[in-house]
Amino acid sequence: MTDVTARNRRNKRKGSQWETDLREGLRGLGFDVESLRLAGTEDEGDMVVRIDGSFLVIEAKNAKFEPATFVREAKVERLNFAKHRGLDPELVTSLAVVKARGKNWRQAYVLTTFEDYLGLDAQ
């Protein structure tokens, strides 16, 4: 096995562990969380939280900090999630949740656009 292959496997394990920690942490607080598994162009995000009839799609990241890329990815996955379930996209929001180095899931960074955060119409 090459050094690159070994590093990629370690990074994948770290990413999977981060998703597990986040999901189980939210469940421990009583949130209704489900893991999502589609990949590629039809990816729906890493998990969804059901809150009072609406859905929060989370794209969990444990990687080099690339906010624009992470937010863009979360927005696409939000639309995929709604489309695959025949939901009104207005019932689905999305966030990128990024692991803060050396911190637990509760100190993660939450990324979205100000427009989405305030629920403003897209321009």
User: If the chain, 123 residues long, is cut into consecutive pieces of 10 residues, what is the mean pLDDT of each piece?
Assistant: 69 78 97 90 94 95 95 96 94 96 96 92 79
pTM: 0.87
Distance CA 99, CA 19 (A): 10
C-alpha span between 24 and 32 (Å, rounded): 10
Domain count, the chain: 1
Strand duo 92-98 + 54-61: pairing: parallel
Q: Give the model's pLDDT for residue 38.
A: 76
| Cα 99 to Cα 94: distance, rounded to the nearest angstrom | 16
Evaluate whether residue 99 is within a structural domain. Answer: yes
pLDDT recorded at residue 14: 65
Question: Could you tell me if residue 123 is inside a domain?
Answer: no
pLDDT on residue 8: 61
* Domain assignment of residue 60, yes or no: yes
CATH of the domain at 70: 3.40.1350.10
In terms of Cβ atoms closer than 10 Å to its own Cβ (0-12, 13-18, 19+), residue 61 is buried
* Parent domain of 11: 3-118
